[in-house]
């Protein structure tokens, strides 16, 4: 299912959400490709009410419409910077290591052998991010899709378009890039 070059990630709207949920859609047809739902225990839900959410652990499961697990994106407790793991079928696909003191947000994207293969760079003005390889090649982009003034002002739900470059294998590296888009919301946007 996750073999495409373009996705729309639509966050579920909720006034007092105590866990995150997203639909991953085909942006042209609107067909549901997968869901991403945070597995939040009751203690984590309660902690979200009193603790900085950006420090709390999370585990997001990405499942196809039939409920088959495609990937899991997870992070333990953190204080200064996040280190997020992406697994599929029990195998580590890679990790995202948050950079300290970055303007606009930045992750190093590491492969399963802990080698840096790319970087996710945000900009200060909007929620636009680029995936850039070690050689400087643009591998993909994540751009925020504005949902209208009412939704933007009164909810924290966001929509993102993920575009993976045609040269990138959508199943291999593309899976990591799709997972990184979820990390943007879970790590950088959680306290906004």
Q: Which two tokens stand for residue 13?
A: 């709207």
**Cβ–Cβ under 8 Å, residues 30 and 163:** no
Say which residues have a Cβ less than 8 Å from residue 53's Cβ, sequence separation at least 6.
Answer: 190, 191
Q: Which helix (H) or strand (E) holds 24?
A: strand 21-25
Q: What is the pLDDT of residue 138?
A: 93
User: Is 1 a member of any domain?
Assistant: no
- pTM higher than 0.85: no
- Residue 44: which CATH number? 2.40.160.200
Residue numbers in the chain where pLDDT is lower than 70? 1, 14-18, 43-50, 52-54, 101-104, 124-126, 146-157, 188-192
Q: What is the pLDDT of residue 186?
A: 75
User: Is 41 a member of any domain?
Assistant: yes
Q: What is the pLDDT of residue 103?
A: 64
The domain total for the chain is 1
- C-alpha torsion sign, points 176, 181, 184, 186: negative
Q: What is the pLDDT of residue 126?
A: 63
pLDDT digits (tens, 9 = 90+) for 70-111: 999 998 887 777 889 999 999 999 999 987 766 667 889 998
Residues 144 and 84: their CA atoms lie apart, in Å, by 21
> Which residues share a beta bridge with 177?
none
User: Is 150 a member of any domain?
Assistant: yes
- C-alpha torsion sign, points 60, 62, 65, 70: negative
Cα→Cα distances 132→17, 56, 81, 119, 154, Å: 33, 28, 20, 5, 33
**170: containing domain:** 6-188
Q: What is the pLDDT of residue 151?
A: 44
Long-range contacts: 13-20, Cβ < 8 Å, 24+? 13/151, 13/155, 13/157, 14/155, 14/157, 15/155, 17/156, 18/45, 18/48, 18/49, 19/44, 19/45, 20/58, 20/60, 20/185, 20/186
Q: What is the pLDDT of residue 147?
A: 55
């Amino acid at each position: 299912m996750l073999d495409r070059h373009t996705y729309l990630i639509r966050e579920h709207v909720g006034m007092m959400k105590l866990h995150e949920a997203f639909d991953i859609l085909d942006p042209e047809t609107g067909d549901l490709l997968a869901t991403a739902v945070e597995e939040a225990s009751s203690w984590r839900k309660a902690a979200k009410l009193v603790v900085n959410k950006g420090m709390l652990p999370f585990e997001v499961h990405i499942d196809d419409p039939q409920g088959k697990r495609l990937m899991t994106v997870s992070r333990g407790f953190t204080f200064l910077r996040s280190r997020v793991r992406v697994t599929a079928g029990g195998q580590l696909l890679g990790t995202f290591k948050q950079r300290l003191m970055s303007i606009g947000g930045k992750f190093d994207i590491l492969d399963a052998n802990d080698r840096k293969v790319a970087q996710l760079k945000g900009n200060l003005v909007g929620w636009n991010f680029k995936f850039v390889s070690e050689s400087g090649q643009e591998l993909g982009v994540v751009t925020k899709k504005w949902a209208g003034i009412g939704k933007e002002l009164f909810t924290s739900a966001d929509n993102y378009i993920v575009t993976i470059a045609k040269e990138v294998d959508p199943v291999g590296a593309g899976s990591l890039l799709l997972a990184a888009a979820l990390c943007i919301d879970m790590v950088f946007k959680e306290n906004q």
